[in-house]
Chain A
Amino acid sequence: MRLRLLFITLSLLALPLLAQAEDQTVLRLGDTAEQRQWGTKSLQGVLPLSNGIRIQSVKAGAITRPIGLSHSIDVIEIMYVSPTGGTLSFVWRKPGDQANQYYQLPIALKPGTSSQTFTLVPGAVGNWTSRPVGIGFQIPAGVDITLNTVTLRGWSSGEKLLEAVRCFWSLDTFKAHSINFFWGPLLCSSPQARENLYQRQPPAALSGMRVIYGILILGALIFAFLYWRRRDRWNSGTFLRRIAFVTLALWLVLDIRMGAEHLRNWKTDVDSYLTKPIGQRVFRTIRFLPDFATASMGLLKDQPRYVLLAPTTDTIMNFMRYQTFPSVPVNPEDGSGASLWFVYERPDMTIDSQGRIAENGVPLSPPGSMVHEFMQGTYIFRVTPPSDSPVPQLKVSGIRTQP
């Protein structure tokens, strides 16, 4: 009875944690008052503007400011304009550290002439604190950047807890590494981190197994306490059975989590591949390759080898080698004498005025022509044979071509 009362009281006390909204502080670097907060070190070419602070760095240096917010910082959004782009570092100082002691996290900013936003989720980065006393940027030489705003966003403990639960149940998709390992349940503390959870490899998040071990250890401590309190009624068997029961329950939770991941991915296979008509099927990371390979099989099978041009080679090369055996795919550098080029998802490749496949204007293939286009950037290219060779008949199976 007393335990039930305690549980209800604690639940009621926890409610405000969940109700508190997201906090946000926007540092507008165009404001004069804000500009006065920032200080530089070894940095030249710093110019305060009405829309931000422009830095044209001649040599490497840093620009920092002290900070003391009432809310935690979980996500940092940097709005900038940078014609050069570059790899900067976001830097921060922890409470209690010396004034010049900063930790840094590299960030790669894309070049562009209009405003862009870079979102940084540092939660799983070592030495990060959600309550830093100083922030800033380490800027290498040769960078031209205008920092417009820095938005610091934070969530309450309750919201972070909810996000962590949602994150735990966020599921990964099948990737080439899935046969070797699964990232498994992960923990994060913001919606931004959750939305991009498995896009970065390795994910910038903590393992969800920490929670599992935490519950297990807490359970063991509680049962050890109860065992000590109820020595007259409990024996070691009672204690062990309870530990085993908690382990089993956590095992089941993990199995549901990982089983759901498998089932969700298989459902994706059903929806994107098995139930779609041939020619429109998409299969995992190799997308249209199975259908394009099937459509091209008649042509490729007649060749001892053919050149493969694809965005990545490993899986695609292995797939094509297996599918078209005994015809062997080779890289362009080994493709001398091959009469067919299998080009897959390379819209960046162009056919130049002399009928050659070219990359950035550099010809890769001998002159020839496209004989079967599956979709833009995905086609079979036949090298024009010398004038004294007979032209072989084309055999393309009748699969619908992508518009």
Chain B
Amino acid sequence: MILLWLLIGLLPPTLTGWLLLRLLEGRTPVLFSAERWILGFVLGITLTMFMTFCANVTHIIVFTRWGFASVQITLTVILGIARLLQWKLTPHLNLNINPNPNPPLRPLWKIILALALLWTLFKILSGTLILASTPAYFDDTLKNWNLRAKIFVQTGSLDAIPDAVGNVSPLAGYPPTVSLTKAWLSALSGGWEEGIINSIHVLWFLAALLLVYYGLRRRTSWPWALSGSLFLASLPLYFFHGVNAYADVFVSAHLFAAVNLLWVALTEHDARRRLSFFRLSALAGTLLIFTKNEALVLYLPLLLAILITGVVFLLRSGRLNMRNATEILTWYAGWIVLIALPWLVYKWTHGLTFGNAKAVSGTVMGWQPGVLRTFGINIFFEGNWHLLFPVLLLLIFTRAKTALQSSLASLLIFVVAALTMQLLLFLFTSLSAEALRQTGIGRGFVQLAPLIVMLIILWVREVFAE
């Protein structure tokens, strides 16, 4: 029953996402067929919920079954017609992208990969069973993601959430995508069923694993790509977030999509394919705004900085002309205006904060003792990340110069800059309390984990190729 409601509930947003991605690719399809559906699922839900938010705050709909459905039907019909026109007007293209060739693999490695895959699937299945059949337990699920969903579906609107004594909760400043998705599934199924409401998180987790697979598959053979997904799923904290009703794996899938598409665009040699990737990355990058607050204040500025630097570099190297550069920046600007503007206007008019449950404006600056030590313990001496960070640091210290001269440069710069910014935020602001209690550190790493894993896999492969 859970599966049926999920299927019915997620099909329209996924179709919306697929249609939009296909429209953006235009005459140059660049995504793998399966990758397009997975990206369609991830970005389609967020886009649909953003449009639902817009329709609600403009009093066009309330959050009822038909309120949600009307937005989804409208979007699907509009994009479907657009896609039909595109299909009629442009030559019919083969959507199958030729993946990298697969070198022969030793039986030992096949066995290791098969066992690791079975072990991972067993863990995911067990975690899913527990998530779908036990009460919500962890704090942010109870006081944020699920509670807000319940409020949305019961009040039918985005009314600011009051706390126990009637004050406006700072949680109302979080983008509502995750909670709206749950509210939609609840409205659709006609009740509050924890199994349905929480299972969506496992699908975001699986989507992130598969996006990493296809992200790697674009550059490597299937064993390396599969290893990347398995390594990511093996990270205890990432895995645990994947099978619990938290939003950071959801953010990680969006962040991976945005950065991966931008990185591929910057390193693509074919001009038409490059433009196609840029158009896709503009959508994925901008939708980050509607995932969590840190995406707006931390990741998007970094993404835009890399975009502008990359475009300038491509212009100077003659691989991009001014017309194409303008087109790329227009796509980004257009999506930002379309998505950031309504959300920011809503936040300002409702007096909502921009920090992560704490207002950015209230942040106190200054050196925060103990944070560096806590970071060290979290990434090196606890059971959260296996050997992910030692391997990353080893590669950075021994191979950074080579990597910065290779196609990995922009990916490496994004990962290092994002990690550094997080570290600096905790080291020099009053957000340090989140670090010292270890409530904030892990979330940022969860969001970046897919990118770090992809970087490491590609880097290690390069080292071996030498």
Contact = CB atoms under 8 A, between A and B. Distances in A.
A181 B438 contact: yes
Interface stretch (A2-10, A14-22, A240-248): A240-248
B319 to A, nearest CB: 33
Nearest to A210: B381
B402 interface: no
11 contacts: A178-B240, A179-B244, A179-B246, A216-B390, A258-B383, A263-B126, A283-B137, A290-B135, A321-B143, A321-B147, A329-B164
A262 B438 contact: no
Contacts of B334: none
A326 B387 contact: no
Contacts of A326: 154
Given A180-B438, A262-B123, A322-B147, 18 more contacts: A176-B138, A179-B246, A180-B437, A181-B442, A183-B382, A184-B381, A207-B382, A251-B387, A259-B234, A261-B383, A262-B126, A262-B240, A273-B134, A315-B142, A319-B136, A321-B164, A322-B142, A334-B165
B464 A240 contact: yes
Contacts of A185: 383
B127 A209 contact: no
A274 B133 contact: yes
A318 B130 contact: no
Main secondary structure of the interface of B (DSSP, over half): helix
B165 A266 contact: no
Task: Please classify the interface of chain A as helix (H, G, I), strand (E, B), loop, or mixed, using the class held by over half of its residues.
Answer: helix
Contact of A325 (B119, B134, B154, B236): B154
B237 interface: yes
B464 A241 contact: yes
Given A176-B139, A181-B442, A321-B147, A254 B464 contact: no
Contacts of A261: 236, 383
B135 A179 contact: no
B142 A319 contact: yes
Interface string B110-154: 000000100100010011011001111111101100110011001
Given A290-B135, A329-B164, A251 B150 contact: no
A262 B236 CA distance: 9
Contacts of A266: 126-127, 129-130
B277 interface: no
A209 B244 contact: no
Interface string A286-324: 100010000000000000010000000011011101110
Interface in A59-78: none
A174 B244 CA distance: 12
B154 A254 contact: no
A213 B460 contact: no
A328 interface: yes
Interface residues of A, number: 58
B165 A318 contact: no
Interface in A326-341: 326, 328-331, 334
A110 interface: no
Contacts of A176: 138-139
Contacts of A325: 147, 150-151, 154
A36 interface: no
A269 interface: yes
Contacts of A262: 123, 126-127, 236, 239-240
A257 interface: yes
B260 interface: no
Contacts of A315: 137, 139, 142
B252 to A, nearest CB: 15
What 10 A-B pairs come out closest when comparing CB atoms? A184-B383, A207-B381, A318-B142, A182-B383, A258-B236, A179-B138, A322-B142, A255-B234, A290-B135, A318-B143
A161 interface: no
Contacts of A254: 383, 386-387
A180 B439 contact: yes
A250 interface: yes
B378 interface: yes
Interface centre among B147, B150, B386, B464 (most CB of A within 10 A): B386
Contact of B136 (A182, A257, A258, A322): A322
A230 interface: no
A258 B390 CA distance: 18
B160 to A, nearest CB: 14
A237 B464 contact: yes
B343 interface: no
A177 B438 contact: yes
A305 B130 CA distance: 31
B425 to A, nearest CB: 17
B384 to A, nearest CB: 5
B463 interface: yes
